[in-house]
Structure 1
């Protein structure tokens, strides 16, 4: 098991132990009671911490994409209607993920929906918060760890600078995990979308199947399928582990963006652990809801509570 995956496993055990606390949107850790700096000073401090850091580990979660308009996952809103309109009218799902959890009358209809989902993220432009973050990181030594499956970071950076530990919408796997193998999902999705047109289902012959056993394929993602944790999965964890271990004695900034309460064990709590244990480490989180700074870290970091898109835009403009 890699260095970073071991940290995740430790925090998952903590999550199980205090599940009721997390479910209530809280944390079992003692939090700092220091008053927050005024917003403008927070922005200045964010820019300064980035400038002074010798290296930066970015932890990008769902709130980062949501801030840029990728907010169609959990509610029936304007974004959901824009991309999933025909399914919203027909089934009245409460967001994209809701549709993934419902029973379907046919596999052809299900794959029409899934192809729409994958095509939406595969073809989306790089969202503005990501571009502003990229501007802030220009010229810095950095690495990106993300739980997002929407490939926004991969559209900006080479594979070796990004660890996608929750999967990637560009790949299929066997739904039965018969082999440790992943393959391209982009071209099959393009074909399903083309043939489906204005309809809501795909022809049976276009349903992707495993080249090894013939079972249905499935996106290589955690959350609503039999997620393949094989060579590719291990490789993602190895990348981030090597970056951390290589830089543990440097002035490293752990920059957390948009972590919610469903999965604090993948980015937030490992970042807390690392910041506490690395003598020169610093920590900054940007979150639109949660002001969670452990008391043990109150002299090593801060939390900016606000719209992530606005924070990154203001910081990028200030740094120019």
Structure 2
């Protein structure tokens, strides 16, 4: 078994090459009894889900020119005056990041690496790429919501713990704006006219259980709905950890930043510290590090996740 002893290497002035780190990670992937994947936004960014630049302007240039919105993330918090406009923005956001084709095969590469292993995925991503790429639904825990779900804007009574599939509703909004949806789900802008930034009033989604306006099922405040599926996934995740307690577990952290470190990063560090047979791997461009307490059972690779997975599969 490989151990990446950071303390020794620093004290002796040694450097570990990128290729050597890849070999260490390969060994851990092969010999681990179980793998817990912790995935953050950096993984989806590496897969092509960029929220600014060319991809943003391809679908939201009218919002940029009219409101100065420069990226999808900040646009999600813009104080639109009308629900017709709010959903005009959000239906595109949801479609291109949840229902349109995944920009690359990065998630499929990751699945090919772990599919024969005992694995579980904990993720703060809301784009559903894991399940769409072949991962077992029973081994996925989406902690922060799902672009593919609505919830009541004021959950109460029957809607308090309930979410609602939004595919048909979002599709109707998209087509009402003037877009065409291709055979693979791709969003196609018309060539002979401008698309509308608004949706028709009658397409504003209303909760069937409480009569309130619908909103996105994303954890932005304490009104976030943790439905039955969310709780079942949470229970399966913690059961997986309990089942493999004390075993050789690889905690594989992919693209997790410091926005919500208490969900993935800090627990992974703590689990590794408490289990002398555990190993921690961090893949993150610009933010690959670990505490000194677990440095001798960790590998941190600062680089593009896609490039690392490519190396692991060749």
User: Match for residue 42 of structure 1?
Assistant: 21
Report the counterpart of residue 134 of structure 1 in structure 2. 111
Instruction: Decide whether aligned partners of structure 1 residues 125 and 32 sit closer, same or farther in structure 2, where only a CA change above 3 A counts.
Output: farther
1:174 equivalent to 2:175? Answer: no
Q: What CA deviation, in whole Å up to 9, does each residue of 1:233-272 have, x standing for no partner? A: 3223212111111111321100000011111111011000
Aligned length: 284
CA offsets per residue over residues 22-81 of structure 1, 9 Å max, x none? Answer: xxxxxxxxx968445210101111111101111100011100001121120xxx411211
Q: Which residue of 1 aligns with 2:278?
A: 281
Counting only pairs closer than 5 Å after superposition, residues 24-39 of structure 1 correspond to structure 2 as 34-35=9-10, 37-39=16-18
Residues 138 and 233, structure 2, Cα contact 8 Å, conserved in 1: no
Deviation (angstroms), 1:291: 3.0
For residues 105 and 16 of structure 2, the distance between their equivalents in structure 1, rounded to whole angstroms, comes to 26
Give the conservation status (yes or no) of the 8 Å contact 2:147–2:216.
yes
Larger radius of gyration: 2
Q: Report if the CA contact (8 A) 1:146-1:165 is conserved.
A: yes
Q: TM-score with structure 2 length normalisation?
A: 0.86
- Residue 211 (structure 1) shift: 0.7
Deviation at 1:230, TM superposition (A): 4.3
2:254·2:283 contact (CA, 8 Å) conserved in 1?
Answer: yes
Going from structure 1 to structure 2, the CA distance change for 1:249 and 1:123 (only over 3 Å counts) comes to same
Task: Choose which of 177, 180, 189 in structure 2 pairs with 1:196.
Answer: 177
The TM-score normalised by the length of structure 1 is 0.84
The answer to whether 1:270 aligns with 2:267 is yes
Aligned to 2:184: none
* C-alpha displacement of 1:129: 2.2
1:219 matched to 2:216? The reply is: yes
Structure 1: 5+ residue stretches without partners: 1-30
Structure-2 residue corresponding to 1:94: 70
SS in 1 for 2:280: strand
Equivalents in 1 of 2:212, 2:83: separation in Å?
A: 13
Deviations 1:107-137 (A, max 9, x none): 1011110111111122233433212211211
Distance 1:124 1:66 in 2: 15
Number of the residue aligned with 1:150: 127
Partner of 1:16: none
* Aligned counterpart, 2:250: 253
Separation (CA, whole Å) in 2 of partners of 1:277 and 1:283: 12
Q: Distance in 2 between matches of 1:285 and 1:190?
A: 37
Alignment partner for residue 228 of structure 2, among 207, 210, 231? Answer: 231
- Residue 302 in 1 paired to residue 299 in 2? yes
Deviates more, 1:220-229 or 1:287-296: 220-229
Does the 8 Å CA contact 1:122/1:186 hold for their aligned counterparts? no
The one-character-per-residue Cα deviations of 1:112-168 (angstroms, maximum 9, x if unpaired) are 101111111222334332122112113111111110001111212232011001111
Alpha-carbon offset, residue 223 of structure 1: 2.5
